[in-house]
Amino acid sequence: MTENALPNLTGAQAFQLAELFRALSDTSRVRIIAALLEGEVNVSALAELVGISESAVSHQLRTLRQMRLVRARKQGREVYYSLDDDHVVDLFQRGLDHVQHG
């Protein structure tokens, strides 16, 4: 079959979608996003909220930023992280709906 069999989804889009969902397929990353639903948080507060080391949080944040799920804002010497946009909130909420209504 050619890519045209799925007119609404190119091979590249299917790959990008799979990568997006892969970025969310980790319990620590899910907990980081859940923490960011409340608003901006810095690395040390995230580490405390999620219950992993700051270095582990930084590692996971890199993955989340690469997929544009999370963005960073520098203020003085501190970096604050937040969800990139409302798509992320919606995506996360829809996933939670599915899990909760199961």
Position 87 contacts its own copies (CB under 8 A): yes
Taking a C-beta distance cutoff of 8 angstroms, is the pair 33, 69 a contact?
yes
18 binds its own copies (CB under 8 A): yes
Q: Is 35 in the site for its own copies (CB under 8 A)?
A: yes
Taking CB under 8 A as the binding criterion, the range among 28-36, 54-62, 72-80 that sits at the site for its own copies is 28-36
79 vs 91, which CB is nearer to its own copies? 91
Give the x/- contact pattern for its own copies in 67-86, rule: CB under 8 A: -xx---------------x-
Which of helix, strand or coil describes residue 49? helix
Confirm or reject binding of residue 36 to its own copies (CB under 8 A): no
Q: How far apart are CA 46 and CA 80, in angstroms?
A: 10
Phi and psi torsions of 81, nearest 5°: -110, 145
Please state, in angstroms and rounded to a whole number, the distance separating the CA atoms of residues 94 and 77: 35
